[in-house]
Structure 1
Amino acid sequence: MLTGKAMTSRIDKRFAQCRAEKRAALVTFIMAGDPDAALSLDILKALPKSGADIIEVGMPFSDPMADGPAIQAAGLRAMRAGMTLKGVLAQVEAFRRDDADTPIVLMGYYNPIYVYGVDRFLADAKAAGVDGLIVVDLPPEEDVELCLPALRAGVSFIRLATPTTDDRRLPAVLANTSGFVYYVSVTGVTGQKRPDYSKVATAVRRIKAHTDLPVAVGFGVKDAAAAAEIGANADAVVVGSAIIDALARTLDADNRGGPAAVAAVSKLVNELAAGVASARR
């Protein structure tokens, strides 16, 4: 079994820093190339300054089955603007020129990686400065496809657990997971429901009984109050659709944006970071 713990990664260091500060981490999601490559990169660079501890970068895909309307629309805008997987890696590489510390996790689906070529993709991702992968349509039974090669390449493979992942299934889900565990707090697609906070706390405790990895909780976190509720029990709070919505509201009828998009996303992330920081005071 590979555990991905042979070295201390940026992800490990960031969680250690947050533990020392007695708070949860804030994990933010944006879609690479939304609404275009230049503005997407500006937003990406602004996230750490606004309070993001870890950044998930979406890889646009034409059939995003686990994503709700906001993230689906973001992916479509990105693809219409010409974003490709090679372009996603170029964005990470450009981000790394100014930021050597903030962990970057690519999130998406296996098909674009398969077409790119797994070995080539992992080599290019590592060289660009990618720290981890969340690939939502590869179950543990398919670890040989990408998970195990990723761990050998020094890239964390972050698995999702859900409200329907029972104690019999959890060991398989956690077997080769590294970096952190992403707990999906609601059933369904992203951005559509608010989580039941009492159930989230119970679920986090249950997962922690099976692993020493940090547990991040996402899906349905829309504002600072929700971030504080989740951050009181989880090791990290993940926010995606609310950030995409903040960006989308600044776009014109042709999906063009500008500095207002960066400002809107930065404002929301700053509020979310304050909510997370207040959770354990």
Structure 2
Amino acid sequence: MTLLSVASVSKTFDGVKAVQNISFEVDRGIIFSVIGPNGAGKTTLFNLITGVYVPSEGDVRIDGVSVAGKPPHELAALGVARTFQNLQICMNMDACENVMVGAHLRLDRNLLKAAFRFPALARRDRDIKQEAEELMRFVGLEDYVGARADGMPYGALKRLEIARALALKPRLLFLDEPAAGLNPKETLDVDGLVRKIADSGVTVVLVEHNMKMVMNLSDRILVMDYGKKMVEGTCDEIRHHPDVIAAYLGAHA
């Protein structure tokens, strides 16, 4: 059953067509990957779906309801979470606090209750902290529960950002190059984590340049080039498609 539907979405920046007439559907519970050469428009497409940009044309639907142009916080309330190409970690906070930030929509933000530290509010904060610690264990960061973010290695910070996204309790998770800048061991860990997330029932939409990881994880793949949809299909269909081979290796290949 379709969870995400993208219909004829386009985005123009000062006359430059960054994304052109992209359509696809993502079924519940799958890992759907978006690939393409640098500058193909993958992150722009993510930004259009997750509310960072407003589409110039087209529609985005979640569970059949149009969400095109809705701001990120409204999409978050609908169960949409994401990570970013470049780390968005609060370095002046500890690791667990970073994860707790992801649960902000489930916290009581009443100023009066906060000022007087109502017992129910304190209990809820403790519950969220416990959830954050459990998520850190889930992503393999149990050794960093009490650590400051600015003292953690890069590979651990990438997983910390995923843990923060999961704190939202999303049904649809967008991962923008989660393995970028990681060594082979760290990449393998993230590969296993993405599979673990999908197995838990979260639908994953993935942008990633590591083709081994993409082919290992994906149920379906969308290939973009110059802002356009080139082809969509299964791993085998994409792996042997002549246009995909030409885009990645050059037509002479």
Q: TM-score range by the shorter chain?
A: 0.3 to 0.5
Which one has a bigger Cα radius of gyration?
Answer: 2
Given the two structures, how large is their TM-score scaled by the length of structure 1?
0.35
Question: Higher strand share goes to which structure?
Answer: 2
Given the two structures, how large is their TM-score scaled by the length of structure 2?
0.37
